Amino acid sequence: MNAQTPSRTWNPYVAGALAGLLLVLSVWITGKYFGASTTYVRAAGFAESVLDAARVAAMPYFMKEKPVIDWQWMFVLGIVLGSFAAAALSRTFRLQAVPDRFAARFGPSVGRRFVVAFVGGAVAMFGARLADGCPSGHGLSGSLQLAASGFVALTCFFVGGLVVARLLYGSTQQGR
């Protein structure tokens, strides 16, 4: 392989199966199932504690999900680092502010993309906390345990996403 060419993308079935084995090992060794969204609650708790620690300490949701660094916090941090390492090693790291599909539909404005991403992130996280999980916690970990909540949540994630994606891009959008 040439040193300049990026490595080929892995087959999604192979990578998905390896992720499944990783999850099984994690459950075996540490008893931990994958999840991500609780970490944002803990991080928000940290940030708010800087401003008003007493208020945070008295809020019921931060009593439930305390601002501490736990297994999942390190898991989410690990995802960032692992992805960076894999991107660097495979020469697929690329700084990009506006994704191709977004730019083709809404133009190259970085400001517009960042506002949409921020609002989308806020709406998504509010929903994930109301549902008590995200595609990791409910979608992967919940449904693989055959949890009724996991299947209901996963279905609702996709229904909400399909509707809004269709509104954003219209029904004529084709190709990839």
Partner 1 sequence: MELIFGLVTGALFGALLQRAEVIRYDRQLGALLLVDMTIVKFMLTTILVGMVGVYALVDLGLAKLSLKPLILGGTVLGGLTFGAGWALLGYCPGTAGAALGEGRTDALAGMAGMLAGAALYAEAYPTMKATVLTWGDFGKLTLPQLLGLNHWPVIAVMVVGGVLLLRWLEKKGL
Min dist CB 47 to partner 1, Å, is: 7
In the complex with partner 1, the residue whose CB is nearer, 5 or 13, is 13
8 Å CB contact between 58 and 27: no
How far from the centroid of its chain's Cα atoms is residue 13's Cα?
20
Q: Which of 22, 53, 57, 58 binds partner 1 (CB under 8 A)?
A: 22
Q: Which of 32, 49, 106, 109 binds partner 1 (CB under 8 A)?
A: 32
68 in contact with partner 1 (CB under 8 A): no
Min dist CB 5 to partner 1, Å, is: 15
The amino acid occupying position 107 is: G
Total residues at the site for partner 1 (CB under 8 A)? Answer: 131
> How would you class 127 by CB atoms within 10 Å of its CB: exposed for 0-12, middle for 13-18, buried for 19 or more?
middle
Min dist CB 1 to partner 1, Å, is: 15
8 Å CB contact between 131 and 153: yes
Q: Which residues contact 20 (CB under 8 A, 6 or more apart)?
A: 144
> By CB under 8 A, what part of segment 35-54 binds partner 1?
36-37, 39-41, 43-45, 47-48
> By CB under 8 A, what part of segment 79-138 binds partner 1?
79-87, 90, 92-102, 113-138
Q: Taking CB under 8 A as the rule, which mask of x and - marks residues 129-168 in contact with partner 1?
A: xxxxxxxxxxxxxxxxxxxxxxxxxxxxxxxxxxxxxx-x
Min dist CB 108 to partner 1, Å, is: 12
Q: Which of 26, 49, 106, 109 binds partner 1 (CB under 8 A)?
A: 26
The amino acid occupying position 167 is: L
User: Phi and psi of 17, rounded to 5°?
Assistant: -65, -40
Q: What angle do CA 162, 167, 168 make, to 5 degrees?
A: 100
Q: Which residues contact 143 (CB under 8 A, 6 or more apart)?
A: 150, 151, 154
Min dist CB 4 to partner 1, Å, is: 17
